[in-house]
Every structure is written in structure tokens, then in C-alpha cells.
Structure 1
Amino acid sequence: MSITGKKIAFIGAGNMAEALINGLLSSKIVSAKQITAFDVNTRRLNWLKDEYKINISASNTKLIEKSDVVILAVKPQILSEVLEKKNKIINDKLVISIAAGISTQKIESYLSKKTPVIRVMPNMPAVVCRGATAICRGKVATKTHAALALDIFRSVGYAILVEEKLMDMITAVSGSGPAYVFYLMEAMIKSAIDGGLPKYKAINLVAETVRGAGELVIRGQELPGKLRKRVTSPGGTTEAAIKIFDANKVNFTFLTAISAAEERSKELSN
């Protein structure tokens, strides 16, 4: 199932939907005329139309009827309402859901047994085409359906196919992960400002440090642990900081926090 020529419907036109629209158009794997969006916020919808030259619809019923792929980009708490109202017309489409914590089994329960469902866990950096996304297949979704979904989400960054049983862990690690990085950055920026550095310089210095560190890992030079040891000279400034981290069990705190996020994801799924 190639995305070429497919008509894509977005139900919901928030930040993640916009990120995907921008990524799809920037990568040129689809044209603007293949994309149609619906949202209850008409001002937002009209802005997307003007910005990206996509189609918009005042009715999600008509939108779904004319589409091949339906991307559910609504909040988890209203997903069931959308599916209950539109289950009869959505049944012959490929359904891709980015609603956090909603299993393929739950989505499938509203649809016919033949409807292919893909569940996706993207993250915030997708809005700058640096996202990290995991996708999984429902019962009847094929490898071909998964390949199409991967094409879509690789337009906004890195995307992988996983088993659904891993999605709660992935939600905790990469879905929530940007917040952990921002949390660390907040402390680094505050330290720099408290030390006398102007705010904008502190922000840029820390942001570039994080980006550079990530790039070193992505390029596969060495694992993070080895890279950390390379920076940490015996008796040096970095070692002094790492000793404080270790004394305060920062590593353990991170592991505990991520575990709590995973458990919360499981609770929301149920």
C-alpha cells in the first residue's frame, strides 16, 4: 500500500496534525491536494488552509467518505465519541491513531473486524521534523499498512515499528522524554544565568549543547556512557558534577520517574 495518490484525512488539526502536514508536504511524498483536515476550531482550520494550501472540510463525515487514510489526531478523551459517530463510514479506511494511551484493541472495538488500525506514539519534536515515533499494528493491519504509516511519520523524524506491548514503555521514554530533557535544560540555564550569563546566551548555549550531544549519539561514534566518560576527566570539573549526581542518586531517580510514567500510561490505557 503506497501513499502515492492516497487521500489523507486529518480528524483534528492541532500541533501534531500540523507537524505531519508540514512534514508530508516538505518531503514531497504527497501533495497539498491529497490532504484534507477537519477541526471544530474553524479559525484554526482556515489558517491551516491558508498556510499549507490543503483542503478543509466542514463535515468530518464527508471528509472520511472521500479519504483512503484517516489520521485520528484528536484528544484521547473524545476519540471514542468520534469513533462511535463515524464507525460505519470509517470501516473501509486505514485508521491511524495518535491518541495517547488508546490501544488498537479499543479502537477496533468501535469498527468492523476488517478495518486496519495503526497506533502511533509520536513526540513533540515532530513539530520541527525531529520527532521520535513508534508505531504498532492492530489485528488486521498488515506490514504494508505499517510501511505506509512509517512513511508518514518518517517525514517528521525517526520512526520505528514495535509490538504494542512496548507502547507504554515507549510513551514513558520518548513520548514524555522531551519534558525530561527540558527539565534538565531548565536547571542548566538557571545555573548559567545565576552565574552571570545573559538569558538568551544561556538558552542558546544549553540548547546547542543538548543538540550536539544528541548528534554524537545519533552518528554512532560511541554509546552515551562511553561519551560521558570521555568528557569526565579525573579530578576535573565534570567529575565534580557527576559525583554530586551520583550522591543524589540522579540515575535511580530517572529510572523511577520513567517507571512511574509507564505505569500511568498503563492506567490510562485501561
Structure 2
Amino acid sequence: MSAPGSLPPIAIIGTGSMGGAILAGLRAGAPDVRVRVTTRSEASAAALRADGVEARAVEHDSDANAWAVSGAGVVVLGVKPAQIVAVLGELAPTLDPAALVVSVAAGITTAAMEAAAPNPVVRAMPNTPSLVGRGVTGVSGGARSTATHLALADDLFRLVGTVVELPESQIDALSTISGSGPAYVFLLIEEFTRAAQAMGFDENVARLLAEQTFIGATALLEASGEDPEELRRRVTSPKGTTEQAVGVLQGAKLSALFTRAAEAALARARELAAGA
């Protein structure tokens, strides 16, 4: 793995949630790397420039994207999935043929991107905890990508969390677990907050109890290195209160429920990939 300082110049086309997270990771972990970014609005670009970022807006500068990718060794496409192929086709004449193109868009295959430009392509699927440097990103190389290209993508996304290399056939499935997963966790916190309110706690206390319990439990899981089943067993005393609650949850067939939820997300990911 190369050191962050050895990353080539980088262009980020679109600085929404994921593009913005990558930019923040680069600024914190590889501050000497040249980064140029583009945004849709001039207001966003101006805010970035005020913070010391080289930025231009496509709404006021039709050459903004071409400017950003000129001389870049890595080009991160952070635009909406429906725009990926068109933007890549627009950039193809300006791109260095050796530049690595990285897409963080759901549903757009490496084959579709390779048809739009002759560059090596890596498809990446990060999740929103990347915004705080705790993301999980799945990466998969296209037909033109080598181990060196994948290592470069790994170095980039390790700046915002953990990286998993996998075949492209598994990228959509990964999106249903780590990609959508934060929403599942937030939903559970919502429901436990409501349960606490139903027991008489006011909203602020209920939220504090639910949120900090999840935060503390996951911190314990990470720090201990133990299997989650073992940690659950230690909390669940025989014939105790936790055993009763866990019994109710397991009686609801949570295993089958979570499997159905992941399968529903996967079905939709496949529809998106097919253009539906």
C-alpha cells in the first residue's frame, strides 16, 4: 500500500455527501495532495474556496469539470447515478488515459463506464459514516483495472474508513448491508427511543438512553474484539430481564426479517442497475 502522500493529483466531480467525505479525508490524511473539485452551484464552490479548496462551479463555468480533471491521476465521480455516464463521456477527451476513474454511484456498472471512456475504472460503494472517518467502502475493479489501480483506490478510501475488495457481482449485495446498514441502526435507535418514551421518559432522556446505549455497545464490541453473540450472552443473565426481552425479539423471527429486508434492498439495487 502506498503512503497517503504518494497519492497523485485528485479531481472530485461533485461534492455531495460522499464527494465531500472523500475531500475531508484527503485534507486530513493527505494534505499535500493536490485536489480540485467541482460543485453544481457557485455558492458551494465559493464556500469551499473560502476554506482553501480549489473549487469551481459548473453552473457558472462550463469548463469546470475539464479544469478539475486536467493533470489528475485519480478522478472521483460523485454525481448522481443518472449523470455518471454522460459526465464521463464529457470528460473523456480531457482525461489522461492513465488516470483512474472511481465512481461512488449505485447501480452504474464498470462496463457502462468503460464504454464511455477508455480509462481504468473502479467502482466503489462507501457508506455515510465515511463523513466521520468510520466508513466501510467496497471496491471492485473493471476489466482494465490492475492490482495497482485497486491499491490506489484502497489508499484513497482508507482515508475515510475501512476498505473491502470484492468482485463487482457482490457490490450491490454489499450496498444492502454496509451501504444501507446505517439506516437500519438509526431505525432501531428511533424505535428504542419510542419504547423509552412509552415507559414514561421524556423525549430528551429517551433519546439519550437509546443513542448512548448503541454508541457504547458498538464501542465495546470494537474495543473487546469479542464476537457479538458472546457479548450478548454476557449481558443476558439466565431468567433475568434481558433474557425476557431477547426472547420477545427472537420470537419475532428477526433473522428472517433482516434477511427479507436485505433481499428487498438487493432487488431494488438490481432494478437501478437495469435502469428501472
TM-score, normalising length: structure 2: 0.90
Within 2, Cα distance between the matches of 1:13 and 1:221? 35
Q: Which amino acid letter does the alignment assign opposite residue 71 of structure 2?
A: K
Q: Which amino acid letter does the alignment assign opposite residue 104 of structure 2?
A: I
How far residue 207 of structure 1 moved from its aligned partner, in angstroms, is: 2.1
Map residues 65-80 of structure 1 onto 2, 5 A cutoff. Answer: 65-80=70-85
Map residues 1-270 of structure 1 onto 2, 5 A cutoff. Answer: 2=2, 4=6, 6-27=8-29, 29-31=30-32, 34-51=34-51, 53-57=52-56, 58=61, 59-90=64-95, 91-112=97-118, 115-219=119-223, 221-270=225-274
How far residue 5 of structure 1 moved from its aligned partner, in angstroms, is: 5.7
Q: Is the 8 A contact 2:236 2:242 kept in 1?
A: yes
- Aligned length in residues: 265
RMSD of aligned C-alpha atoms?
A: 1.8
Q: Is the 8 A contact 2:7 2:152 kept in 1?
A: no
Q: Is the 8 A contact 2:110 2:141 kept in 1?
A: yes
Per-residue CA deviations over 1:155-187 (Å, capped at 9, x if unaligned) read 111112111111111000000000000110100
Q: Structure 2: give runs of 5+ residues left out of the alignment.
A: none
Residues 41, 176 of structure 1: CA spacing in aligned structure 2 closer, same or farther, 3 A cutoff? same
Per-residue CA deviations over 1:116-170 (Å, capped at 9, x if unaligned) read 1111000011111111111111112111111121111111111121111111110
Structure 1 stretches of 4+ with a deviation exceeding 3 A read none
Within 1, Cα distance between the matches of 2:169 and 2:218? 27
Q: Is the 8 A contact 1:5 1:30 kept in 2?
A: no
Q: Structure 1: give runs of 5+ residues left out of the alignment.
A: none
Q: Which amino acid letter does the alignment assign opposite residue 43 of structure 2?
A: R
Larger deviation: 224-233 or 181-190?
A: 224-233
Per-residue CA deviations over 1:245-268 (Å, capped at 9, x if unaligned) read 122212211111011111211221
Q: Secondary structure at the match of 2:214?
A: helix
Q: Which amino acid letter does the alignment assign opposite residue 224 of structure 1?
A: P
Q: Is the 8 A contact 1:136 1:163 kept in 2?
A: yes
